[in-house]
């Protein structure tokens, strides 16, 4: 299994890194992918919404072409501002989430980022959650007030405070409940 997590300047650090950590614990090959649109030019690091710099594994357009990301099983969009807006402005991100969705692969978004799914038609007829105040961007979805919601291949999360719940839900959809339970147990073993 392989997952890609998109990072654009202004991403929510806890949502991205908690999800990456949990996926790795579950044995999923996980790559952090810098989205260059809206990013600090020339810098390999991506600046989070709280000014934490994270060095990605790959940069779109430099290290990897968007079409080469289609070999994965899951793509994750963390929230944060202006990270969510920067993700929404990237044609490569939109093309990738649409390709994953059309192939029935897991598309996951947390906090403000489910708005990217909603405005691109991926939530029609689905149940979903998001950061409070973004419900109107879940176009075509039934809003569920929960930490994380899975509906078919779509996984959405509410906020930074539900990052662990979201990450475990992504694992459950990818690998099954037993894998999610084992991963959850691993975070409490210390």
Q: Which residues are catalytic?
A: 111
Q: What CA–CA distance (Å, rounded) separates 121 from 76? A: 17
Handedness of CA 62, 63, 68, 74 (dihedral sign): negative
Tokens linked to 78: 């963390």
Tokens 């109107």, located at residue: 136
């Amino acid at each position: 299994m392989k997952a890609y997590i998109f990072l654009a300047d202004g991403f929510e650090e806890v949502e991205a890194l908690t999800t990456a950590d949990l996926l790795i614990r579950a044995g999923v090959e996980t790559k952090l992918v810098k989205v260059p649109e809206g990013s600090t030019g020339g810098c390999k690091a991506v600046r989070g919404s709280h000014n934490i710099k994270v060095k990605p594994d790959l940069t779109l357009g430099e290290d990897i072409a968007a079409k080469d990301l289609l070999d994965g099983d899951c793509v994750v969009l963390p929230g944060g501002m202006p990270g969510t807006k920067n993700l929404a402005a990237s044609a490569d991100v939109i093309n990738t989430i649409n390709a994953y969705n059309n192939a029935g692969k897991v598309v996951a978004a947390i906090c403000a980022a489910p708005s990217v799914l909603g405005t691109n038609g991926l939530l029609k007829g689905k149940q979903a959650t998001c950061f409070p105040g973004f419900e109107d961007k879940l176009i075509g979805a039934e809003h569920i007030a929960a930490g994380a919601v899975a509906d078919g291949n779509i996984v959405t999360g509410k906020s930074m405070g539900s990052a662990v719940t979201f990450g475990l839900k992504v694992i459950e959809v990818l690998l099954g409940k037993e894998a999610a339970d084992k991963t959850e147990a691993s975070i409490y073993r210390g």
